[in-house]
Amino acid sequence: MVAERAVIDLDDHERQPAAYDPGRFMPRSKVVVRLVAVFLVGAVLGGVGVNELRASQAERERAASVSLVALAASAGGGGLDVEGVLRLEGQLAVINTGPAPITVVAVVGQRPGAEVHGTGRSVVLRPGGTGWVEVKLRFECATAFGSEPLSVRLSVETADRQAREVTYPVALAGSVWHLNAERPCEYLAREGSARQQVDSPGS
């Protein structure tokens, strides 16, 4: 009987299957969880960025917005000429109804029989605040105080230092300016009537 020759394969250690490493491969469920987490973080960061952008835009719009109310406040001094024109010094009350502070830089308004011009002195108004703008007034007694309001244009500077113009109708009939003009205008009317009587034939 022939004895079998033992054969030893020296390369056996290279052909052995690799040992399983449980940490080498990540289970699919963990991969999905991590991807979802990355997505959520990105969405949150993106949302924060969008919110900050919107807040910044809203702040710019707030700083640039202008809303106001203008009213005749006071009048006095001045004088009346023979042409029936009354000149007074007065104040225009301006109420800032907007959300941001504004500075009133100039005021001007004109229509047949009535004019108003600012003196050039600026007034700063906080939100909800009232300021008094000094103005010079020119009224023609015969036509100034009809029912038509005086359209006044106000040049203002917003909180972000932008120049804006706002127009507001200021009522003249029954206003403080009207009340201060009544007596001198009545005096002028009486004087005119007296002169007519003197100058009329057969008087």
The CATH number of whichever domain residue 104 belongs to comes to 2.60.40
Please report whether residue 1 resides in a domain.
no
Q: Are residues 72 and 172 in the same domain?
A: yes
Average pLDDT over residues 59-68: 70
Q: Which residue type does 53 have?
A: L
Question: Who has greater pLDDT, 171 or 65?
Answer: 171
Average pLDDT over the chain reads 81
Q: Are residues 111 and 154 in the same domain?
A: yes
Contact 154, 70 (CB under 8 A): yes
Kindly give the residue spans of alpha helices, DSSP state H, lying in the chain. Answer: 12-15, 28-64, 176-199
**CA quadruple 136, 172, 114, 121: dihedral, nearest 10:** 20
- How far apart are alpha carbons 74 and 169 in whole angstroms? 17
Q: Which two tokens stand for residue 70?
A: 């203008």
Q: Are residues 73 and 159 in the same domain?
A: yes
Please report whether residue 139 resides in a domain.
yes
Minimum mean pLDDT range among 26-35, 55-64, 72-81, 100-109: 55-64
Q: How many domains does the chain have?
A: 2
Q: Which residue type does 36 have?
A: V
Q: Are residues 80 and 39 in the same domain?
A: no
Helix (H) or strand (E) holding 49: helix 28-64
pLDDT score of 31: 67
pTM, two decimal places: 0.66
Average pLDDT over residues 28-37: 71
- How far apart are alpha carbons 188 and 115 in whole angstroms? 19
Residue with tokens 């809203």: 58
Q: Which domain holds residue 121?
A: 68-196
Q: Are residues 31 and 56 in the same domain?
A: yes
pLDDT score of 116: 97
Residue 47 CA: distances (Å) to CA of 41, 43, 67: 10, 6, 32
Q: Are residues 123 and 173 in the same domain?
A: yes
Please report whether residue 8 resides in a domain.
no
Helix (H) or strand (E) holding 134: strand 130-140
Q: Which of 14, 38, 64 is the last residue of a domain?
A: 64
SS3 assignment, position 193: helix
Please report whether residue 55 resides in a domain.
yes
Average pLDDT over residues 16-42: 63
Q: Which two tokens stand for residue 133?
A: 């703008």
Average pLDDT over residues 94-114: 96
Average pLDDT over residues 164-189: 92
Q: Give, rounded to a whole angstrom, the gap between the first and last alpha carbons of the chain.
A: 176
Contact 194, 138 (CB under 8 A): no
Ramachandran sector of residue 161 (left: φ over 0; alpha: ψ -120 to 50; beta: rest): left
